[in-house]
Amino acid sequence: MSTEKLRIAIQKSGRLNEDSLKILKDAGVSIDNGKEQLKASARNFPLEVMYLRNGDIPQYLRDGVVDAAIIGENVLVEKGKDIIRGEKLGFSKCRVSLAVPKSMKYKGLKDLDGKKIATSYPNTVNQFLKEKGLTADLHIINGSVEIAPNIGLADGICDIVSSGSTLFKNNLKEVEVMLKSEAVLAISPKISEERKAILEKLQFRFKSVLNART
Ligand code: PRP
Ligand code: MG
């Protein structure tokens, strides 16, 4: 019997982590989960889970260090356009949006032309604005983006919106939805045939789980 195992990456901590573990569990894959470990094996399925930072996952997939991942589509749009996208998994739904201070009299995208925008999604914003024939002065930050307009760092922001509560708390309003996103199965372009066969078994189980959920 083959000792080959599929390596799948999931988010180490954050919004996708819990639901990613849940779909694996619902698919009948039980993982020995020492929370502190960055790598864990499944007991009853040829699978290893690696807990990684969201933003690092596209590179691991590209290099073939992991064979697959559960990741937000928004991350693939931002830095994993070359990564194969499999099934949408129905959780971690969010938008990637532009927001401005509530007090701003926003009439349309042109009001942001040449303005300072704080974001963790520079490629997504640039692409979106380019399509509209606009440009912006991007200020790239990795977290707590919504604070930027309040401290005079930017005129607007582009970030993930889920419940909208972070925007609300920071006196911002969502003015343009650039992208709608949810968790997807991402597949390495370098996956071997042997591991692909394991992945197909997992995909089959995921499909049954998703069917049962709707
Ligand atoms: C994420 C995201 C938004 C917020 C959106 O931040 O960057 O700020 O969640 O969710 P909401 O619309 O439900 O409020 P997170 O809390 O993960 O922290 P970070 O920005 O510091 O990474
Ligand atoms: Mg945030």
Scanning 49-192, the segments in alpha helix (DSSP H) are 57-63, 73-79, 122-131, 165-169
pLDDT of 43 higher than 70: yes
Q: Which of 162, 195, 199 is nearest to 86 (CA)?
A: 199
| pTM given for the model | 0.94
List, for residues 184-211, the tens digit of each pLDDT value: 999 999 999 999 999 999 999 999 999 9
Give the structural domain span for 156: 94-181
Q: Which residue's C-alpha comes closest to atom 22 of ligand 1? A: 143
pLDDT of 1 higher than 70: no
- 32 pLDDT tier (thresholds 50, 70, 90): confident
Distance CA 157, CA 120 (A): 9
211 lines ligand 1 (CB under 6 A): no
Same domain, 13 and 85: yes
198 lines ligand 1 (CB under 6 A): no
Task: Supply the pLDDT for residue 11.
Answer: 95
Same domain, 98 and 176: yes
ipTM exceeding 0.90, yes/no: yes
Task: Supply the pLDDT for residue 34.
Answer: 64
State phi, psi for 193 to the nearest 5 degrees: -60, -40
pLDDT of 160 higher than 70: yes
The answer as to whether 203 is a domain residue is yes
Ligand 2 centroid, distance to 180 Cα (angstroms): 16
Ligand 2 centroid, distance to 80 Cα (angstroms): 21
Average pLDDT of the chain is: 96
The answer as to whether 1 is a domain residue is no
Task: Supply the pLDDT for residue 37.
Answer: 83
- Candidate of 150, 160, 181 to mutate for ligand 1, largest count of ligand atoms within 8 Å of Cβ: 160
Same domain, 106 and 174: yes
